[in-house]
């Protein structure tokens, strides 16, 4: 029988995780360490936080902080994955504006608290969006979905639930992965390990290493998978490789936890980008899915997302939901109403839905055009190296292969901001800024080693 984590046990798990920074197989320390410092009550005239060390900025969101401080007129922010138009402006989708108008004009709408699990319509429609409208899991009531605070909140609620109720406390995350994954799972009380994912030599998937690492994971371990548009590498398994991964994971009873932060952004098609998840759900096994509407509906700051847990029976699904409520209530009580109302308005209206798919495709296509333009610009400059990965990679980011020093050089000399691992957000580029970026990359690789 599993009982809830006692606070002592949780603290000891945390201190174990937090004092030893995770070192991956390539010797990189992950940024999942968080420093706890005791406060002092001895000197009555100084602050109780006098000894508090200054924390570093977040490796991704901190890039925007640095960018905002730069007065240069040519500065360019390719750090955070946020879509920009050709004019370099943030985009509010037309369908979102229309849905907001409908909501504002509907006088019957009120601002009461939502239930702990969020807006019922939103939850049903979100499960359909990722699993498919005709999914047997949905028809059989095997899925429980709760509205959460975007992708991050969905991952965290899922992680807290697993730490309390699942017999295996180890989660395998890809190396590399989105920088927040390690912290989210560690702070929830899980033990984070990595599996090989990216091969820097081929700039492609290390399928052999991946299968070996998951093959030697303990039975029942949780495995974090990016549903599509892997961040930061832009490298996804092919459908055949997904099938190999699925077979291995099911044979070892590994529990899939999908992070779906970019549905529609990889291929431009919502169904195409959900294929990996649907493959795992079709086999009848259990599965966790964290969904975000930040990117595909451009609802970044509205914090709209969902956690779905696919169970083996309808009865288990309802019990899981009852426990999710106990996770959510003391964290933030219940989720915000506005963003989820926008999403459900769009998802349930045939015309709005159709228009959304077109706007989404246009965003995905613009990113693909930027890949082509950057690739051509580097070729035109004769920049040393094979840059074909720029057009091969998928989704919002290009994992350029530029090293930390080259990134620092580009920021210093060209005012181009990106994460120190060489990831650039292609969605932040425009035809106007491509030449500036290509000049910077050319200068970086020809002068900095
Ligand atoms: N999962 C992955 C793989 C992500 O890349 C991101 C966002 C999230 C989850 C969480 O998104 P949400 O909570 O806003 O829904 N990654 C961004 C932003 C776009 C960030 O770091 O917060 C990035 O630049 O990597």
Rounded distance from Cα 262 to ligand 1 centre (Å): 9
For residue 395 and ligand 1, the question of a CB distance below 6 A is answered with: no
- Catalytic residue status for 178: yes
Catalytic residue among 178, 183, 236, 439: 178
Its pTM stands at: 0.92
- Distance of alpha carbon 33 from alpha carbon 332, whole angstroms: 24
- Catalytic residue status for 295: yes
| Per-residue pLDDT reduced to its tens digit, 70-119 | 999 999 999 999 999 999 999 999 999 999 999 999 999 999 999 999 99
What pLDDT is stored for residue 25 in this prediction?
A: 40
Catalytic residue among 213, 236, 259, 273: 259
What pLDDT is stored for residue 449 in this prediction?
A: 84
Rounded distance from Cα 182 to ligand 1 centre (Å): 13
Q: Give SS3 for 292.
A: strand
Which residues of the chain are under the pLDDT cut of 50?
Answer: 1-9, 11-32
Rounded distance from Cα 151 to ligand 1 centre (Å): 7
For residue 152 and ligand 1, the question of a CB distance below 6 A is answered with: yes
What pLDDT is stored for residue 24 in this prediction?
A: 43
What pLDDT is stored for residue 256 in this prediction?
A: 98
Rounded distance from Cα 326 to ligand 1 centre (Å): 25
- List residues bridging with 255 in a β-sheet: 222
Q: Give SS3 for 143.
A: strand
For residue 151 and ligand 1, the question of a CB distance below 6 A is answered with: yes
Rounded distance from Cα 49 to ligand 1 centre (Å): 31
- Half-sphere exposure (CA, 13 Å, Cβ side) for 151? 22
By the 8 A CB rule, do 288 and 148 touch? no
Which residue's CA is minimally distant from atom 15 of ligand 1? 151
- Catalytic residue status for 259: yes
- Dihedral over Cα of 83, 231, 282, 241: its sign: positive
DSSP 246-280: HHHHHHTT-EEEEEES-TTTSSS-TTGGGHHHHHH
What pLDDT is stored for residue 44 in this prediction?
A: 64
| Short-list 400, 426, 397, 420, CA closest to 408 | 420
Which atom of ligand 1 is the closest one to the Cα of 152?
Answer: 13
């Amino acid at each position: 029988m599993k009982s809830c984590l006692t606070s002592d046990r949780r603290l000891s798990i945390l201190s174990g995780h937090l004092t030893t920074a995770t070192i991956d197989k390539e010797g990189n320390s992950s940024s999942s360490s968080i420093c706890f410092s005791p406060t002092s009550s001895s000197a009555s005239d100084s602050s109780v936080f006098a000894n508090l060390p200054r924390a570093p900025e977040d490796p991704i969101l901190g890039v925007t902080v640095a960018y905002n401080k730069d007065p240069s007129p040519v500065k360019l922010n390719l750090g955070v994955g946020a879509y920009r138009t050709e004019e370099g402006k943030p985009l509010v989708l037309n369908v979102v504006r229309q849905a907001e108008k409908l909501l504002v004009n509907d006088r019957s709408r009120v601002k009461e608290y939502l239930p702990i699990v969020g807006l019922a319509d939103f939850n049903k429609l979100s499960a359909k969006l990722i699993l498919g409208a005709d999914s047997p899991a949905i028809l059989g009531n095997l899925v429980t979905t709760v509205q959460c605070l975007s992708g991050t909140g969905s991952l965290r609620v899922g992680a807290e639930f697993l730490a309390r109720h699942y017999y295996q406390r180890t989660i395998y995350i890809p190396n590399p992965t989105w920088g927040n994954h390690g912290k989210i799972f560690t702070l929830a009380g899980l033990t984070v390990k990595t599996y090989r994912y990216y091969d820097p030599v081929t700039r492609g998937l290390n399928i052999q290493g991946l299968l070996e690492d998951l093959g030697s994971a303990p039975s029942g371990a949780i495995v974090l998978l990016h549903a599509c548009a892997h961040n930061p590498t832009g490298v996804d398994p092919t459908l055949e490789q997904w099938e190999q991964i699925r077979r291995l994971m099911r044979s070892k009873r590994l529990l899939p936890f999908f992070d779906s932060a970019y549905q529609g952004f990889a291929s431009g098609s919502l169904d195409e980008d959900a294929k990996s998840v649907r493959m795992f759900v079709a086999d009848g096994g259990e599965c966790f899915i964290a969904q975000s509407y930040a990117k595909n509906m451009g609802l970044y700051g509205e914090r709209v997302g969902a956690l779905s847990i696919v169970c083996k029976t309808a009865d288990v699904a309802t019990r899981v939901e009852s426990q999710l409520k106990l996770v959510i209530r003391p964290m933030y009580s219940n989720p915000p109403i506005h963003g989820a109302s926008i999403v459900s308005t769009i998802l349930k209206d045939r015309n709005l839905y159709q228009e959304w798919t077109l706007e989404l495709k246009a965003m995905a296509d613009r990113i693909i055009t930027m890949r082509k333009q950057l690739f051509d610009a580097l070729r035109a400059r004769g920049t040393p190296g094979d840059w074909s990965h720029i057009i091969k990679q998928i989704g919002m980011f290009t994992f350029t292969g530029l090293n930390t020093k080259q990134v620092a050089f580009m920021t210093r000399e060209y005012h181009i901001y990106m994460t120190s691992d060489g990831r650039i957000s292609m969605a932040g580029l425009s035809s106007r800024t491509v030449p500036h970026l290509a000049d910077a990359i050319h200068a970086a690789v020809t002068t900095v080693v």
